[in-house]
Structure 1
Amino acid sequence: MKVVVIGCTHAGTAAIVNTAQLYPEAEITVYERNDNISFLSCGIALYVGGVVKDPHGLFYSSPDQLAALGVNTNMRHEVTSIDTDHKKLTVRNLVNGEEFEDTYDKLIMTTGSWPIIPKLEGIELDNILLCKNYNHSNTIIEKASHAKRITVVGAGYIGVELVEAFQMNGKEVTLIDGVDRILNKYLDPEFTDAIQESFQNKGIKLALNQTVTAFEGSNGVVNKVITTHGEYETDLVILCIGFRPNTELLKGQVDMLPNGAIIVDNYMQTSRKDVFAAGDSCAIHYNPTGKKSYIPLATNAVRMGTLVARNLVDQTTRYMGTQGTSGIKIYEDNIAATGLTELAAIDAGLQVETVTVTDRYRPEFMPTSEDVTLKVVFEKGTRRILGAQLMSKVELTQSINTISVCIQNQMTVDELGFIDFFFQPHYNKPWNFLNTAGLQALSTTAKKEPSHV
């Protein structure tokens, strides 16, 4: 069996390693256009901020490690075309320009994603940077060392983490986003308001609900960002607007979402036989809505890449879908979320209710007992849990993983009230705060029910 893997991202690395282990007789060939593999881009802000001193720890594999598994790894090689009818592809060696053809029995598409680059006046100026891979991170560090004023465009996870890192390094930071809240895809206003307040208390300028329209510069270097609401002088701009799947190679050959994300079945196979996909190049099955969505996360990628290998020959392990569970630490706040926010659920056309609890996470008689705020979103009628968000000074984010399992198994908010959790005063109360949220939702419903006496 001849297996070709295009792209050695998180999903690609997982697919390659597991394929080599499960099918030792297979001939595995990898084509990667970059000069490195398996870089943890979620660690860029930590690297930029100086928390991670040695960037080599952000790589969890290498061409040498794959070669030791018998994998033919071709770095700096770009696949330029794919013919799925005849199972052929064309490859260009980016070092010497040589082009050649290859064939496959099984094709694994793990081409990942690429940052969205807006077509704006001045976008070609120097010191306007992307933030995705290892080379980007090194460029950001080098440029930021000479910059006093830094502007980050895009208030998603990467943008927000970079803002914190730059501020802690003594930079004057401006964060621009087209909507009126940071992290709006992950958190509801009661959480984002608190984060924004902490940013403003640190001197970070928030330029929200405004869109970048142009960049200006002198001597070929950016020095001003123009938006729909004003102008911001800057020495460096980092674009963190979002990502698009790298799927042009299969356009018109497999089913895709409108944004180009490849649609796969429950066993990671595309609409074309023997063509599989995983990671940021494809859509996921989003359990809260039951629909296909595009949620590029490393956790989704490694799971899907592993599943590709397990289902490459026979359908052995079914994909359970995802809740898009994620976490972030901003200054002293530990934050995590899973599934739909209240506003996202409403936008999806769902009728929902919510319950929010703020409680001490362990008994007040302990030397310390910090507050935790938990919000649970559930469907009206069925009371099925659709999402949750948590914030606390103490590290309690693993509780959101528990809610993720609840969503995956279609549990109700009422059941949450009676799940068996251990009690130990060092860690929690007799009623865990997850139980408390479920009980509060149950109590509220009981008050609404008419009396039959």
Structure 2
Amino acid sequence: MKVAVIGCTHAGTAAIVNTAKLYPDAEITVYERNDNISFLSCGIALYVGGMVEDPQGLFYSSPQQLAELGVNTKMRHEVVSVDTDAKTLQARNLETGEVFGDTFDKLIVTTGSWPIVPKFEGSELDNIVLSKNFNHSNTIIEKAQQANHIVVVGAGYIGVELVEAFQLNGKQVTLIDAEDRILSKYLDPEYTDKIEQSLREHGIELALGQKVTRFEGENGKVTKVITDKGTYAADLVIMCIGFRPNTDLLKGQVDMLGNGAIVVDEYMRTSKSDVYAAGDSCAVFYNPTSKHAYIPLATNAVRMGTLVARNLVAPTVKYMGTQGTSGIKIYEDNIAGTGLTETAAKDAGLDAEAVLITDNYRPEFMPTHEPVMLKVVYEKNTRRILGAQIMSKVDLTQSINTISVCIQNSMKMEELAFVDFFFQPHYNKPWNFLNSAGLGALPEVPQRETAHV
């Protein structure tokens, strides 16, 4: 069996390693256009902020490790075309320029995503950089050393983590986003209001509800970011607006969403026989809405990549879908979320309600008993749990993984109220705060006894 793999980050590495182990006789060839593989991009802010001193810790595989598994890894090689019917591809050696062909029995597409880069006036100025891969992170570190005013465009996870890292390193930082709130895809206002307050208290300037219109500079280097509402000094600009699936190679050959994300079934198969896909290049089945959605997360990628290998010869293990579970630490606040926010649920046309509780996570007689804020979103009629968010100075984020399982299994609020959790004063109260959220949304009790026949 001849297997070709395009791209080797999270999904690609998982697919390659498992394919090599499961099918020792397979001939596996990997095409990767970068000079490194398996970079944990979620660690960029930690690396930039100096918390991660040895960047090699951000890699969990290498061409040498893959070679030990018998994999032929072609680094700095870009696949320029694919014919899924003829099962052929054309690749270019980026070092020599040589273009050559190859064939495959099975194709695994793990081409990932790439940052969205609008064509603003002045975008060609120096010191305007992206934040996606290892080379980007090294560029950011190098340029940040000489910068005093740093502007980050995009208030998603990466943008928020970067402004914190820059502020801790003594920089003057501005965070710009077109939305009125930071992290608006992940959290409801009850949470983002508190996080925004924390960022401002640490001296970070928030320019929210503003769209960048152009960049201005001197001597070829950026000096100002201009929005529709203001002007901001900048020695360095980091673009973190979002990501798009990197799937041009297969356009017109397999089914995709409108944004280009490849649609796969529960066995990671595309609409074309013997062509599989995984990771940020794909749409995933989103359990809260029962629809395919684009949710680029490393966790989704490694699961999907592993399943590609398991299902490469025959359907074996199904993908259970995702809740888009994620977490972030901002200064002293530990924050996590899963499924739909209340805002997103209503935007999706669901009749949603929510329970918001703030309680001390363990008994008040304990020496410390920090408060936890938990919000659980549910569908009004079915009472099915749709999502949850949590925030506390104590790390209670693993509780969101529990809610993720609840959503996965279509549990209702009353089931969450009475599910079995242990009690021990070091850790929680007799009613765990997850139980308490469920108790806050119990169904009404009938006022008259129903006659039994």
- Determine the C-alpha separation between the residues in 1 that align with 2:24 and 2:423: 47
Match in the other structure for 2:356 = 356
Match in the other structure for 1:234 = 234
- Determine the C-alpha separation between the residues in 1 that align with 2:374 and 2:210: 30
1:110-159 C-alpha deviation (Å, 9 max, x unpaired): 00000000111000100000000000000000000100000000000000
SS at match of 1:265: coil
SS at match of 1:14: helix
1:143-179 C-alpha deviation (Å, 9 max, x unpaired): 0010000000000000000010000000000000001
Deviation at 1:233, TM superposition (A): 1.0
Residue identity matched to 1:278: A
Residue identity matched to 1:441: A
Deviation at 1:452, TM superposition (A): 3.3
Stretch of structure 1 that moved more, 360-369 or 307-316? 360-369
Residue identity matched to 1:109: V
Tell me whether 1:415 sits opposite 2:415 in the alignment: yes
Residues paired across the two proteins, number: 449
Match in the other structure for 1:59 = 59
1:63-107 C-alpha deviation (Å, 9 max, x unpaired): 000000000000000000000110000010000011100000000
Residue identity matched to 1:285: F
1:296-341 C-alpha deviation (Å, 9 max, x unpaired): 0000000000000000001000010000000000000000000000
Match in the other structure for 2:448 = 452
Tell me whether 1:68 sits opposite 2:64 in the alignment: no
Deviation at 1:450, TM superposition (A): 6.6
- Determine the C-alpha separation between the residues in 2 that align with 1:450 and 1:385: 23
Deviation at 1:262, TM superposition (A): 0.2
Tell me whether 1:29 sits opposite 2:29 in the alignment: yes
- Determine the C-alpha separation between the residues in 1 that align with 2:182 and 2:67: 43
Deviation at 1:26, TM superposition (A): 0.4
Deviation at 1:365, TM superposition (A): 1.0
1:237-260 C-alpha deviation (Å, 9 max, x unpaired): 000000011100000000000000
Match in the other structure for 1:122 = 122
Which aligned pairs between 1:373-452 and structure 2 lie closer than 5 A?
Answer: 373-442=373-442, 445-446=443-444, 451-452=447-448
Deviation at 1:45, TM superposition (A): 0.2
Deviation at 1:440, TM superposition (A): 1.3
Match in the other structure for 2:4 = 4
SS at match of 2:388: strand
- Determine the C-alpha separation between the residues in 2 that align with 1:125 and 1:450: 68
Identical counterparts, % of pairs: 77
SS at match of 2:418: coil
Residue identity matched to 1:122: G
SS at match of 2:18: helix
- Determine the C-alpha separation between the residues in 2 that align with 1:296 and 1:135: 20
Match in the other structure for 1:346 = 346
Where do 5+ consecutive residues of structure 2 fail to align? Answer: none
- Determine the C-alpha separation between the residues in 2 that align with 1:183 and 1:278: 25
Match in the other structure for 1:222 = 222
Which aligned pairs between 1:78-93 and structure 2 lie closer than 5 A?
Answer: 78-93=78-93
- Determine the C-alpha separation between the residues in 2 that align with 1:207 and 1:429: 41
Match in the other structure for 1:327 = 327
Give the alignment's TM-score, normalised by structure 1: 0.98
- Determine the C-alpha separation between the residues in 2 that align with 1:208 and 1:33: 36
Match in the other structure for 1:337 = 337
1:26-49 C-alpha deviation (Å, 9 max, x unpaired): 000000000000000000000000
Deviation at 1:451, TM superposition (A): 3.2
- Determine the C-alpha separation between the residues in 1 that align with 2:140 and 2:448: 67
SS at match of 2:223: strand
Residue identity matched to 2:334: N
Where do 5+ consecutive residues of structure 1 fail to align? Answer: none
- Determine the C-alpha separation between the residues in 2 that align with 1:102 and 1:414: 57
Match in the other structure for 1:300 = 300
SS at match of 1:417: helix
Residue identity matched to 2:21: Q
Give the alignment's TM-score, normalised by structure 2: 0.98
Tell me whether 1:147 sits opposite 2:147 in the alignment: yes
SS at match of 2:425: coil
Deviation at 1:9, TM superposition (A): 1.2
- Determine the C-alpha separation between the residues in 2 that align with 1:48 and 1:159: 12
- Determine the C-alpha separation between the residues in 2 that align with 1:250 and 1:61: 27
Match in the other structure for 2:369 = 369
Deviation at 1:209, TM superposition (A): 0.3
- Determine the C-alpha separation between the residues in 1 that align with 2:150 and 2:135: 19
Residue identity matched to 2:298: A
- Determine the C-alpha separation between the residues in 1 that align with 2:124 and 2:109: 31
Residue identity matched to 2:9: T
SS at match of 2:39: coil
- Determine the C-alpha separation between the residues in 2 that align with 1:85 and 1:187: 43
- Determine the C-alpha separation between the residues in 1 that align with 2:188 and 2:91: 46
SS at match of 2:441: helix
Match in the other structure for 2:112 = 112
Structure 1 outlier segments of 4+, above 6 Å: none
